[in-house]
Structure 1
Amino acid sequence: MAKTVRSLVVLGDSTTVGVGDPVPGGWRGVGPLLAAAFADARYLNVSSTGARVASVRHEQLPKVLPSRPDAAVLLVGMNDTLRSDFDGRRLHVDLDAIVGALVAAGSAVVTVRFHDHSRVFRLPGALRRALRARIGELNEIIDAVVRRHGIGCVDLDLMAGAYAEETWAVDRLHPSELGHRRLAAAFAARLAEMGCEVPGEVSLVCTGGLRVTPLHHAGWLVFKGIPWLWRRGRDLLPYAATIMYRSWAGHPEPPRYVIRPSDDLDHAFE
């Protein structure tokens, strides 16, 4: 018998905040679209723009655990890949703690493994390679946590329309309304596979969002895109320079955090 979802929680960064799907008064996005398929469930979204894995663990998780949610959606990690203090070991411990605590509370948990974002947001060659390497390392960590706890996972690289232009908002960093709908539908499908009853459907028909014009694209590039690339580029540049030098000198890529079966992560719950 399918599990009735009486409470649904969403944790994560600006994607789960709804950025990219503008409606009058703010953002909508994947959370409300998914919650509509669970019309009788309590819905709580504690996501925050700019959130990293550590902030989800220490700031968002304590807000949802007391309610012992039946289902939880988690989307976080991309902001970590864009920072100079990226630490695979720390990410592994924090992500394992988040998922472990949700599972222990009785939640059916679904997360994501990330796509190659350099195919969506055009970056110079060295930055593209640096970002790909970071995302690859993050995905290995996510895979390990998914295996350990037996949770659901949406592979964004394989999601229908993942690299189609209409899936992405004007900033090429967040999903468009259609992208949010596709993501919500994928989350609903994974929750159903995990034995949750999904009473409703997530429609892929776009309605209600604000129309994005070429002027929006131009305005975003000038006022947001170039400043963002400058900020994140400075964070990634030392790592990208290391990759370039090692390639030129014939040395192997910079060492990555290697996940070993013997790694003891039980202290993550302390």
Structure 2
Amino acid sequence: MAPVRRFAALGDSLTAGVGDPVEGGWRGWAALLAGGLAREADETGTADGTDQGAVDFRNFAVSGARTRDVAESQLPEALAYRPDVVSVVVGVNDTLRRTFDIAEIAVALDRVCGQLAAEGAVLLTACLPDPGAMLGLPPPLARPLARRQRAVNAVVHALSARYGAVHLHMADAAWVEDRALWSADRLHPGERGHRTIAARFHALLAERGLAGGAPPDREPRRPPPTRADALLWLATAGTGWVVRRCHDLLPQLLRLAAAEVRHAARGTSARLDERAEHALSAALAAVSVSMDVAGPVARMGE
């Protein structure tokens, strides 16, 4: 295959690098991966002394971005950049909004993936763990979020199969439960987690001949966050995050939790899953994708 010259990253705070601090800001898995895509330098070099193996990297991801933000704001920038490889990892913020609509998410994500694939870019995608599990919420609160994230992941699986994406499965229980991979906020990977994501994507790209450099080192340079770090985050940045969610998601989430409790008491919880499946089927039908598409290509830790 032709060498990778340009790598673009689209998405939210996960791809923006939150949880992997470096001097001056965030780094993250995409930046770590970019360093491993370059071909080994030719000993003879070039006439002007430039490194023809170098890969240019642009990170268009923005913290808090939803799928529609990627489609409306980040996609035009990425298309103008004309990347050879482009990551599209988004969806968790959609599940944390009262306006959650799986059909809108499917249409927006199909637009992003379709237009980038039409330009010849190799897509990188990932399905993600649900935030309820990450935060350790009580079951009545966690189940609605889990149901939403499963729907988003199903759409990602379907579109990944349609466009031949390099897909990484990050919703495994082992990945969620390994606290050494996560930052103090319990929602974003820490340095070890970002390095693990980069290394797994690198391995998948190497199989396609698209990663000519050395894989990113999985060992972090900084110690993992402590319980004190988690408490400090909650007392500072975490307070603002909770307040924002109280205005947006929390009232609806409480109603959803109440419905979970009522259906559990009546023995009719399956109806909630059936409604979610119906909404998912309609969403996939809107982008003409079958529910029986191929599953994930790789799982974290394999």
Give TM-score scaled by structure 2 length.
Answer: 0.80
Q: Which amino acid aligns with 1:35?
A: A
What's the CA shift string for 1:18-58, capped at 9, x where partnerless?
10011221111112111111241110000001000000001
Match of 2:234 in 1: 221
Offset at residue 146 of structure 1 (A): 1.3
In structure 2, the gaps of 5 or more residues are 39-53, 289-302
For structure 1, which segment, 144-153 or 195-204, has the greater mean C-alpha deviation from structure 2 after superposition? 195-204
Give, in angstroms, the shift of residue 9 of structure 1. 0.4
Residue deviations 1:83-118 (CA, integer Å, cap 9, x gap): 111101111111111111111111110110122443
Stretch moving more, 103-112 or 241-250: 241-250
Q: For 1:205, which of 191, 204, 219 is the aligned residue?
A: 219
8 A Cα contact 2:94 2:100, kept in partner? yes
**Equivalent residues of 1:247, 1:253 under 8 A apart:** no
Specify whether residues 126 and 101 from structure 1 end up closer, same or farther in structure 2 by C-alpha distance, changes over 3 A only.
Answer: same
Q: Deviations over 1:55-90 (max 9, x none)?
A: 000100100102221101111000001111110111
In the alignment, the residues of structure 2 paired with residue 214 and residue 246 of structure 1 have an alpha-carbon distance, to the nearest angstrom, of 36
Q: Give 1:32's aligned residue.
A: 31
Match of 1:137 in 2: 151
1:74 lines up with 2:88 in the alignment:
yes
- Per the alignment, do residues 90 and 196 of structure 1 end up closer, same or farther by CA in structure 2, a change over 3 Å counting? same
CA radius of gyration, larger in? 2
Give the secondary structure class of the aligned counterpart of 2:285: coil
Greater mean deviation of Cα atoms: 229-238 or 59-68: 229-238
Distance, in Å, in 2 between the alignment partners of 1:145 and 1:249 is 37
Size of the aligned set, in residue pairs, is 264
- What's 2:295 paired with? none
Partner of 2:11: 12
Supply the AA of the counterpart residue of 1:179.
Answer: G
Shift of 1:127: 1.1
Q: Which residue of 2 aligns with 1:152?
A: 166
Partner of 1:265: 287
- 1:239 is aligned to 2:256: yes
Give 5+ residue unaligned stretches, structure 1: none
Offset at 1:162?
4.3
Matched residues, percent identical? 35
CA shift digits 1:245-265 (9 cap, x unpaired): 233333311612132698253
Q: Which moved more, 1:137-146 or 1:245-254?
A: 245-254
Corresponding residue number in structure 1 for 2:65: 51
